[in-house]
């Protein structure tokens, strides 16, 4: 069983991104089963008009049909890091992670919980995702041939309580599609990912955008990390694939030898 993170440079033009994804999927290794994670904003990366023009109702539309076709054609579990989906009676959208099984069925989805409204010392300067997107309000776990998958998106990575909840729900593989900025990525990307792997004793698969799109500079460094925090594969720059097998025996051994989930005493109260 192989885990794959796909790294790409995205634009505000879906046909261009579609061609890039198709070219990289054609380079997949032959072994199956295979789980492939695409980055955040793999469908469209740009202004509100680009989002508006490419948003679809969940489980409907030609973009989602393309992902379903790819999953079926290649016989893979395909996780779309995020794409904009419509919200009834709202001018905002969800940033939605979509999961397709090898038959091309959309078997799960997750709407990004934490929105990136921050100031960053880069060419973009100010980020206000909440101007365009609304936050989700549900966690998402899905059983798969690779183990139980816990879904998240980019800025979620800074909120360890989310991953603790996914671990409590049985997560074994944490998926982190992202478009981390170059500034924040250089400072925090790998340390945060390794921390989430170590503290939750899970595999972490993180697929990042790379390169420059307008003023946006993204960090790349797509990576797969094992439950001991060891980096199994990483692609610092450029477009391509990183992959690593899942070792369920190692995961079970780590959890058995150091049962941190059973040792947690979060019911303790503050002394008055």
Q: What is the CA radius of gyration of the chain?
A: 18
Average pLDDT, the chain: 96
Residue written as token pair 């945060």: 192
**Annotation marks residue 154 as catalytic:** yes
* CA dihedral angle for residue 159, residue 42, residue 217, residue 29, rounded to 10 degrees: 90
Is the per-residue pLDDT at 240 higher than 70? yes
**Annotation marks residue 40 as catalytic:** yes
Q: Which domains does the chain have, with CATH numbers?
A: 2-263 (3.60.110.10)
Q: Are 106 and 72 in contact (CB under 8 A)?
A: no
**Annotation marks residue 232 as catalytic:** no
**Sign of the alpha-carbon torsion through 193, 1, 103, 107:** negative
Q: What is the pLDDT of residues 123-172, one digit of tens each?
A: 787 889 999 999 999 999 999 999 999 999 999 999 999 999 999 999 99
Is the per-residue pLDDT at 61 higher than 70? yes
Question: What pLDDT shows up at residue 46?
Answer: 86
Banded pLDDT at 193 (limits 50, 70, 90): very high
Banded pLDDT at 89 (limits 50, 70, 90): very high
CB neighbour list of residue 48: distance below 8 Å, 6 or more residues apart: 131, 132
Banded pLDDT at 272 (limits 50, 70, 90): confident
Residues 167-203: b if buried by 16+ CB within 10 A, e if exposed: beeebbbbbbbbbbbbebbeeebbebbbbbbbebbbb
Is the per-residue pLDDT at 35 higher than 70? yes
Banded pLDDT at 228 (limits 50, 70, 90): very high
Is the per-residue pLDDT at 122 higher than 90? no
Catalytic residue from among 56, 102, 112, 239: 112
Share above pLDDT 90 across residues of the chain, in percent, rounded to a whole number: 91
Q: Whole-structure pTM over 0.95, yes or no?
A: yes
Question: What pLDDT shows up at residue 268?
Answer: 67
| Residue 39 DSSP class | P
Is the per-residue pLDDT at 269 higher than 90? no
Q: What is the pLDDT of residues 45-59, one digit of tens each?
A: 988 899 999 999 999
Catalytic residue from among 56, 129, 154, 202: 154
Question: What pLDDT shows up at residue 247?
Answer: 96
Q: Are 5 and 224 in contact (CB under 8 A)?
A: yes
Q: What is the pLDDT of residues 162-187, one digit of tens each?
A: 999 999 999 999 999 999 999 999 99
In angstroms, the CA 133 to CA 86 distance is 10
Catalytic residue from among 2, 40, 56, 239: 40
């Amino acid at each position: 069983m192989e885990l794959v993170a796909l790294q790409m440079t995205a634009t505000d033009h879906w046909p261009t991104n579609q061609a890039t994804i198709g070219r990289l999927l054609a380079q997949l290794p032959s072994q199956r089963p295979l789980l492939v994670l695409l980055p955040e904003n793999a469908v469209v990366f740009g202004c509100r008009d680009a989002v508006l023009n490419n948003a679809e109702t969940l489980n409907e539309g030609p973009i989602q049909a393309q992902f379903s076709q790819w999953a079926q054609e290649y016989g893979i579990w395909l996780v779309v890091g995020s794409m904009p989906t419509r919200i009834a009676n709202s001018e905002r959208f969800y940033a939605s992670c979509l999961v397709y099984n090898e038959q091309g069925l959309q078997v799960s989805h997750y709407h990004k919980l934490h929105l990136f409204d921050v100031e960053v010392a880069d060419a973009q300067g100010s980020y206000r995702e909440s101007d365009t997107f609304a936050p989700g309000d549900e966690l998402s776990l899905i059983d798969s041939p690779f183990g139980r998958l816990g879904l998240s998106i980019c800025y979620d990575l800074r909120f360890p309580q989310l991953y603790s909840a996914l671990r409590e729900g049985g997560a074994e593989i944490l998926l982190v599609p992202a478009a981390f900025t170059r500034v924040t990525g250089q400072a925090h990307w790998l340390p945060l990912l390794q921390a989430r792997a170590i503290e939750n004793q899970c595999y972490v698969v993180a697929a990042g955008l790379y390169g420059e799109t307008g003023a946006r500079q993204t960090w790349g460094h797509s990576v797969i990390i094992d439950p001991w925090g060891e980096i199994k594969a990483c692609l610092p720059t450029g477009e391509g694939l990183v992959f690593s097998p899942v070792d369920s025996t190692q995961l079970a051994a780590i959890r058995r030898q150091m049962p941190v989930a059973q040792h947690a005493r979060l019911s303790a109260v503050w002394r008055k």
